[in-house]
Amino acid sequence: MHKAAQALILFICIALACTVISCRQKSTGGSAEKKLIVVASLFPLYDFARNIGKEKAEVVLLLPPGVEPHSYEPSTGDILKMHEADIFLFTGEAMEPWIGDIRKEIRGEKPLIVDTGRGIRMTGGHADSEGDDHDHGRQDPHIWLDFSNAEKMVDTILDGFVRADPSNKESYMQNAEAYTQRLQELDKQYSGSLASCKKRILIHGGHFAFGYLARRYNLQYLSAYQGFAPNAEPTPRNLIELVKKLRESKLQYLFYEELIVPRVAETIAQETGAGLLKLNGAHNVTKEELAQGVTFISLMEQNLENLRKGLECQGR
């Protein structure tokens, strides 16, 4: 009887173990292979990481959908997400000034903290087509809007994936190469389309976010806000200058940004009679856009359509 009881207990233990393993396999799509857990601070990094990891990684966007990133501060729950991740991706201290405190909180081998802006030269202030650069004391953190920078960021993220999960190196490298080719194609689309524009000045009723894009495609760029964060207030002098430039250039449109009520852009539009077109910096997306599966490249393609319209570009 004693041996029979032992055998019964052993059978139950084995059955329970098999049930647990089976549930784990179902939760990972029928495979017991552990996915790489990646937390990304901003939407571009989130989308880059999804394209590199694909089915081998679970990528989480740290920034809540719809939240403007410049004023964001991580919550306790956000910090917990970082602790549980294998990799944490951020853009740089100019974009995420809170990263220094986070690094003090996180100790040990996990997560691997990856500065995706590593090796990319950041510029400061306003720039025009002649390359004038008026530094207002800060660096422009919107580096992903120059697609050659986006390629470098993909390479840096790839390096982090390989360091954290060398067993899947070949898969990550193939995925990264394919995505880099898509970024290069996007860059060619922008170069070809924007080379034929009648207008070469981009007037933006938001904060200074598109300096890298303007430099890349030889556009003059003026924004309502002198600083890089949208909580800065535009000066009356700056608004007068934008109205004057719109009229002198005979522009039919000016641009506004995502996730922020475009009061300044609307004021300028009412003063000049110009129309409004959205230019998406892709810092973050809405809940609806995230659910619809919007991508960095699809947002940039929408931008190109609006730039073509606003700058009166010819052909395709």
Q: What percent of the chain has pLDDT over 70?
A: 84
CA distance 143 to 118: 11
Q: Can you give the pTM of this predicted structure?
A: 0.85
pLDDT (tens digit per residue) in 250-264? 999 999 999 888 999
What is the average pLDDT value for the chain, to the nearest integer?
A: 86
List the structure tokens of 215: 């430099």
CATH for 198-310, options being 3.30.365.10, 3.40.50.1980, 3.65.10.10, 3.30.1240.10: 3.40.50.1980
Closest CA to 125 of 207, 194, 6, 204: 207
Q: Are 99 and 73 in contact (CB under 8 A)?
A: no
Q: Which residues pair with 203 in a beta bridge?
A: 222
pLDDT tier at 229, thresholds 50, 70, 90? low
Tell me the domain boundaries of the chain: 36-120+140-187, 198-310
Q: Which residues pair with 46 in a beta bridge?
A: none
Q: Are 70 and 230 in contact (CB under 8 A)?
A: yes
36-120+140-187: which CATH topology? Answer: Rossmann fold (3.40.50)
Q: Are 301 and 190 in contact (CB under 8 A)?
A: no
198-310 and 36-120+140-187 share a CATH fold: yes
Q: Considering only the C-alpha atoms of the chain, give the largest distance between any 2 of them, rounded to a whole number of Å.
A: 99
pLDDT (tens digit per residue) in 70-129? 889 999 999 999 999 999 999 999 999 999 988 887 777 789 999 999 999 998 755 433
Q: Are 208 and 223 in contact (CB under 8 A)?
A: yes
